Structure 1
Amino acid sequence: MAVSIVAHEVTQRRDAARALLRTPLLTAATDPDALALIRHHAAALKSSFATALGYILVVDPTFARLVKAPLPAAAAPVRPARRNSGGEFTARTYTYLALICAAVLAPDTGEQVLASALVEQLRADAATVGIDLDDSRTEQRHLVAALRQLIAWGVIEETDGSVSGWGERQEEALLTVHRQMLPHLLARPLAALDGPEALVSSSPDVTEQPRRSLRRKLVENPLVRREDLTDAERDVLSRERTDLTRTLDDLFGLVLEVRAEGALAYDPDRHLSDVEFPGPGKVKQAALLLVDELLRVHKPTAGKTAELHGRQVPGLLCPWPQVTEIVGDLAVRHEKMWGPEHVSDPSVLCRDAISVLTSLSLADPTEDGLVLHPAAARHRPDVQLAPSQTRAHERLEPDAPVAPSLFDLGSL
């Protein structure tokens, strides 16, 4: 009986940790069950996140916030905020996001505020700091997208009416503000920052440890490239792989796989991955088929390298004219499925497909062309079988349909 109770507690702690990795800001309104679990195991979770990853966990009766330490820019695929349509936030949308946060912190703003009053305060704040705003539909879309993001985070709640209704028809909406959460949106207090770059830089008070930084890279990235590891991290990966495997499994339910060109920690349940690939939609389909065509044309051999950021790395350089030509041919071939607009101008589809591959660390755009990482060969579609639904953290199956001459997965 005692053993089963201990096992149950361990499983609960792992589930709570996974919930925080998946959603670093959890509220009682958005996920009450997960928050209850986190609060129950708060002490153990705070300790394990701090020790294993160098993360700070804030637990409040109404929310939990996992504050992550930044990764080096070269080893951190961009994870921007996104609109409901899937498009990335622009600088203008982030401006509105910051202005709304400032407006709800204004002394005259109560726990409940009308959307129109909130916007009035926002415009006044913008004028004070010299930001020009207008009433155009484009500006309105940026404003609504920022409000929706704060609603998704649980900072703002639609009490009566909706932000969408206000944005489309100027119908009034009553919003409830959970002000106690606002200071925890940023990784560091504004008063402690010398400039915006400090938000994504390592704290000067923290001495980085190779074991912890390696765990963080494995947990956060869909693929950790060998060349992006420090000498100390590579040593840990080689000498302490058993301990590393056990830690990732015990704390987060992740399975470690190490290969010659890199490593990944994948989730067998596919709950932690934020990017599904392959997946539905013309952009992901175009990205998958682009990889297949490039590998078919080049037929790369083992040991193939390309220059990336001034260094030679495992990979295949595909010139831009070739990439754009292949995407154009794919647009014509799949016009009925993807739509005719890409036939005359496939540049947007090409850009978006490359963005998907880049976000998964499977490719890098350079001045001369697109550099495919050997791991991209793992996603070559099997023309005889439907492609499996894999995600960013899913295992690189040794028996998957691949080009083994490109991705030679020998052990480190």
Structure 2
Amino acid sequence: MRVAHEVGPLELADYQRAVRLLLRHPLITAAYPDRSALPLVRRWATQLRADLFETLGYRLLTTGDTARLLRVQDELDATRPALTRTDRPFDRRRYAYLMLTLAALGRAGTQIALGELADAVAADATRIDGLGMDTERKPDRDAFVDAVAWLERRGALALADGSAVDWVNNPDRAEALYDIDREIVGAIYRPSRVLQHMRSVTALLEGDSSLAQGRETTRRTAARKARRLVLEQPVVYFADVAESLRGQLRSPALAEDLERLTGLGVERRAEGVAIIDISGRLSDVRFPGGGTVAQAALLLAARIAVYCGPNNRVSRPALLPVPTAAERLAEAAARIDSALPYRTVLEELAGDVPASGAEQIEPATYPFLPDAWLRRAMKELVGQYGAAFGAQWRADPDRLLGQAVALLAGLRLVATVEGGVLALPLLARYRGVTAEVKSRTQPTLFEDA
């Protein structure tokens, strides 16, 4: 297989930019993420459709005003949440309001008032145990408008008159009117399974059907999954996947295909494979990056790497097993499944929960850093580099530690376990990192982090 086989050398960078746009933004509209994105994707739509399906198993659907990439899910991933108007991750209430808002818009005409939309969502929300929505409560109005703003940014709604902010602050005296783009509304929600046909969230994931496939089909399926894992995860550790995938991950063809597809380098080491994207052209999180949390995380990573490195002969950390991918999936699925509305499942249409058929993987062991060690290290870092940190972080090093560890865990540099973290192999990349401290002369430096 040759990726982008009909793309000339002079146009390859332009094609790769279209690939990265789609992978980073599975829904592209005339205005989202910017006005140049849709024309670029439409120009390369035929080649994109062929390459993304052949290499990854993804399907690209294009219309006059949208391009929608339908991904295949291999894992439950919570690292790329929807964001509010203030760039905070959606909570469960906001996700629920977003789904109910989409449902209400599907029943609406070409325009709708914000108050009317809120009443429709509230009527549906009150029928859901534990949810509800009271437009008299400002927290509920804030959560609802965050869902509306998420749709507005993607072009599903366009403000025709009024102000949503004014409505949030005083719904009795303010209103907002929105135009509805039904094509975009329909493109946003494209589930692979209907909720009423599912007994478990794992039904949304790509199952292991190798027993029903021939040898060539099995090989192609494994190759697609290996490419997806490398693209969708910060790093894929060989110890974390079944033996059937390790050969695909080590294959030179995988690196060649992904490098030609994305324009980014693929790094293979003894422990695993990762796409290197220092420029942030594909990744949704840049690391190293700006802001207090990212800088503190980098300094903490460097300190952990030194402590776990070969030159530390004073106090070697204990080695503990890291949860395998199957164990992480089982834990996450159990939490989600406990909240599924089983009363609405149509038993005659619900398929069985797919058996994973996964090979048993012996868990790898990695250096363990207890919470006490992490707290001590962060306090030392704040004392040493605090001149470059925001006052709010200097006053609360435990909160800074929590944010920094969450960032490192999301990048698969550490794994959080009870009582501390495990240092994963990619962390060694940051051994020896140095920092230049610049004293804060502006009270707003890093405050937005």
Cα distance in 2 for residues equivalent to 1:331 and 1:373: 24
Q: How many residues align?
A: 379
Does the CA-based 8 Å contact 2:222-2:244 persist in structure 1? Answer: yes
Whether the 8 Å contact between 2:7 and 2:15 is mirrored in structure 1 is no
Maintained 8 Å contact 2:249/2:273: no
Structure 1 pair 313–42 and aligned structure 2 pair: CA distance change class (3 A): same
Structure 1 residue 341: Cα displacement: 4.5
**Residue 38 of structure 1, aligned match among 41, 66, 69:** 41
Q: Which residue of 1 aligns with 2:52?
A: 49
For residues 162 and 380 of structure 1, the distance between their equivalents in structure 2, rounded to whole angstroms, comes to 50
Report % sequence identity. 28
In 1, distance between residues paired with 2:153 and 2:285? 18
Give the corresponding residue for 1:13.
Answer: 15
Q: Distance in 2 between matches of 1:189 and 1:63?
A: 22
Which piece of structure 1 moves more, 369-378 or 59-68? 369-378
Q: 2: CA distance between counterparts of 1:234 and 1:182? A: 40
Q: Give the alignment's TM-score, normalised by structure 1.
A: 0.81
Secondary structure in 2 matching 1:289? helix
Matched, 1:159 2:160: yes
Q: What is aligned with 2:299?
A: 289
Once the 2 structures are TM-superposed, how far is the Cα of residue 349 of structure 1 from its aligned partner?
A: 1.8
Alignment of 1:154-193 (within 5 A): 154-170=155-171, 171-184=174-187, 185-188=189-192, 190=194, 193=197
Change (3 A) 1:386 1:347: closer
Deviations 1:279-317 (A, max 9, x none): 111211221122223334454469995311275436321
- Is the partner of 2:36 in helix, strand or coil? helix
Letter in 1 for 2:56: L
Distance 2:207 2:434 in 1: 49
Counterpart-to-counterpart distance in 2, 1:375 and 1:204: 28
Contact 1:287 1:356 in 2 (8 A): yes
Q: Report the Cα offset of residue 94 of structure 1.
A: 0.9
Which stretches in structure 2 are left out of the alignment for 5+ residues? Answer: 325-361, 439-449
Q: Which amino acid aligns with 1:289?
A: L
Report the secondary structure of 2:428's partner residue. helix
> SS state of the match for residue 315, structure 1?
strand
Which of 217, 222, 246 pairs up with 1:210? Answer: 222
Tell me the residue number matched to 2:132. 132
Rounded to whole Å, the distance in 1 between the matches of 2:432 and 2:158 is 43
- 1:319 aligns with 370
RMSD: 3.1
- 2:408 and 2:371 mapped to 1: Cα distance? 15
Q: Residue 149 in 1 paired to residue 150 in 2?
A: yes
Query: Which one-letter code corresponds to 1:172 in the other structure?
Result: E
* 1:12-411 correspondence to structure 2 within 5 Å: 12-30=14-32, 31-73=34-76, 76=77, 78-106=79-107, 109-130=108-129, 131-134=131-134, 135-170=136-171, 171-184=174-187, 185-188=189-192, 190=194, 193-195=197-199, 197-198=201-202, 200-202=204-206, 209-238=221-250, 240-241=251-252, 243-267=253-277, 269-300=279-310, 305-309=319-323, 312-313=363-364, 315-342=366-393, 345-380=396-431, 382-383=433-434
Find the aligned partners of 2:308 and 2:257 in 1 and give their Cα distance: 40
Give the gaps of 5 or more residues in structure 1: 388-412
> TM-score scaled to structure 2, two decimals?
0.75
Residues 26 and 223 from structure 1, CA distance in 2 versus in 1: closer, same or farther, beyond 3 angstroms? same
Q: Any conservation in 1 of the 2:192–2:204 contact (CA below 8 Å)?
A: no
| Cα drift, residue 7 of structure 1 | 3.6
Amino acid at match of 1:151: E
Q: What's the offset of the Cα at 1:386?
A: 8.6
* In 2, Cα distance between equivalents of 1:115 and 1:85: 20
**Which segment drifts farther, 365-374 or 34-43?**
34-43
Paired amino acid for 1:114: A
Q: CA separation in 2, counterparts of 1:4 and 1:203?
A: 32
Mapped to 2, the partners of 1:268 and 1:334 lie a distance apart of 24
